[in-house]
């Protein structure tokens, strides 16, 4: 009989052997996409609090659902890191949030409780990087500075 206690022992034993559990995959179906909010990067438990994918490329008019795969996360647009005329968003904790992206450009987003620790991401709508200069000028605390710098470098490559 599988009891809660036996289940916990099994999970602990698997973790001790270094077995990798399957990571959930973000979905993209037609013009609907998802970004997962995770307590740790898939395949790298030493990288805590991440959006997966960290950079998402979509078409104008597509929507993105931010999915709190693990508890304690939200998604909010980062002031100064969205195109002119685009609507800002601020999702509730532990709740799916769907946002439509009609305006091309770069959108920076953060998890409010884990922003300083580097839980940040980018959504690129269309091939329009015209707001890259203004996005790069935004200042960030703690590890967010390093992660955004790395993501923006990846965009420019």
Q: Are strands 105-110 and 120-125 parallel, antiparallel or unpaired?
A: antiparallel
Neighbours of 58 (CB within 10 A): 19
Q: Is 73 annotated as a binding residue?
A: yes
Q: Is 93 annotated as a binding residue?
A: no
Spell 21-45 as b/e; 16+ CB within 10 A means b: eeeeebeeeeeebbbbbbeebbeee
Determine if the pTM surpasses 0.85: no
pLDDT confidence bin for 22, thresholds 50/70/90 = low
Measured in whole angstroms, how far is the alpha carbon of residue 99 from the centre of its chain?
13
Give 26-156's CATH code, choosing from 2.60.120.260, 2.60.40.420, 3.30.365.10, 3.20.20.140: 2.60.40.420
Select the more confidently predicted residue: 15 or 83.
83
- 90, 77 Cβ separation under 8 angstroms: yes
130 pLDDT above the threshold of 80 = yes
pLDDT one-digit tens code per residue, 48-82: 999 999 999 999 999 999 999 999 999 999 999 99
Task: Sketch the domain layout of the chain as residue ranges.
Answer: 26-156
10 pLDDT above the threshold of 80 = no
What three-state secondary structure class fits 124?
A: strand
pLDDT for 119 equals 97
Q: Which of 111, 116, 144, 97 is nearest to 38 (CA)?
A: 111
Select the more confidently predicted residue: 85 or 28.
85
Q: Is 119 annotated as a binding residue?
A: yes
Select the more confidently predicted residue: 70 or 115.
115
At which residue do the structure tokens 């270094």 appear? 18
Q: CA separation (Å) from 111 to 13, 21, 31, 90, 144?
A: 32, 24, 24, 9, 10
Share of residues in the chain with pLDDT > 70 (%): 86
pLDDT for 30 equals 84
């Amino acid at each position: 009989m599988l009891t809660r206690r036996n289940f916990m022992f099994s999970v602990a034993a698997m973790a001790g052997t270094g077995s990798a559990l399957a990571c959930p995959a973000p979905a993209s179906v037609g013009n609907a996409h998802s970004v997962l909010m995770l307590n740790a990067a898939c395949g790298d438990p030493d990288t805590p609090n991440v959006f997966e994918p960290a950079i998402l490329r979509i078409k104008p008019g597509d929507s993105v659902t931010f999915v709190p795969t693990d508890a304690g996360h939200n998604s909010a647009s980062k002031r100064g890191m969205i195109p002119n005329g685009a609507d800002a968003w601020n999702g509730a904790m532990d709740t799916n949030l769907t946002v439509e992206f009609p305006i091309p450009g770069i959108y920076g987003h953060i998890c409010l409780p884990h922003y300083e620790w580097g839980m940040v991401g980018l959504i690129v709508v269309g091939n329009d990087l015209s707001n890259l200069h203004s996005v790069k000028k935004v200042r960030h605390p703690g590890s967010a500075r390093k992660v955004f710098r790395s993501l923006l470098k990846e965009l420019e490559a």
